[in-house]
Structure 1
């Protein structure tokens, strides 16, 4: 049960950025990128990729056999952002996004421990 709850928590970490695919105004609100910017399309694509991460979390919550790969995908998404955020000098405009990812790390650690522990 705790594993499923953890996957749902990881889903929640990614759902708002994914919703930007359907509500493009969220892109401006979350990332301060205006609709007139050439980067806006890139952020829409980013939202689509977050939708994929959300689907992976749902799939992992109900199918134990995909949890190892799901852990890698979700972990790479979260940890790469946090590393890039830190390497860029922790831009204040992205601090709330980094904070949400940091809050998700204990859930990621738990699902990774469950998915990657030796069987038997």
Structure 2
């Protein structure tokens, strides 16, 4: 059951990770055009999502990677949700927040599995 949670968490991060390879996705996901100075920063952010995606896939098959992957994934998801809430829940980011909220039960189960005493 743990691998399923990790794969679900990887899927949460798949679309923003793909933006690293297809930067036009940044415009579709976030409404930022290539001529915007923030575009490069968002492209770099996609590389970080790629790292979270890979960490989750790694954790699906390698239990020794689960604690670090869990921490990184929790920082990504909970950090965004906290910032989203603090910003007044901007409607333009609602879908992203909903995807992260849907992923929270998977994150909880993955963290429980990663940190439970043996």
Which TM class, normalised by the smaller chain length? over 0.9
How much does 1:7 deviate? Answer: 0.4
Structure 1, gaps ≥5 residues long: none
Which residue of the partner structure matches residue 81 of structure 1? 80
Where does structure 1 differ by over 6 angstroms across 4 or more consecutive aligned residues? none
Residue 17 of structure 1: CA displacement?
0.2
Shift of 1:31: 0.5
Q: Check if 1:8 corresponds to 2:33.
A: no
Q: Who is 1:104 aligned against?
A: 103
TM superposition score normalised by structure 1: 0.97
Alpha-carbon deviation of 1:25? Answer: 1.1
Name 2:62's counterpart in structure 1: 63
- Correspondence for 2:71: 72
| Number of aligned residue pairs | 118
The alpha-carbon deviation at position 69 of structure 1 amounts to: 1.0
Distance 1:104 1:89 in 2: 21
Residues 57-114 of structure 1, C-alpha deviations (whole Å, 9 max, x = no match): 0110111011111110101100000000000000000000000000000000000111
The secondary structure found in structure 1 opposite 2:13 is helix
Cα RMSD over matched residues? 0.6
Gaps (5+ residues) in structure 2? none
For 1:1-51, what per-residue CA distance to the aligned partner results, in whole angstroms no more than 9, with x for missing partners?
x10011000000000000011111110111011111000000000000000
- Structure 2 equivalent of residue 92 of structure 1: 91
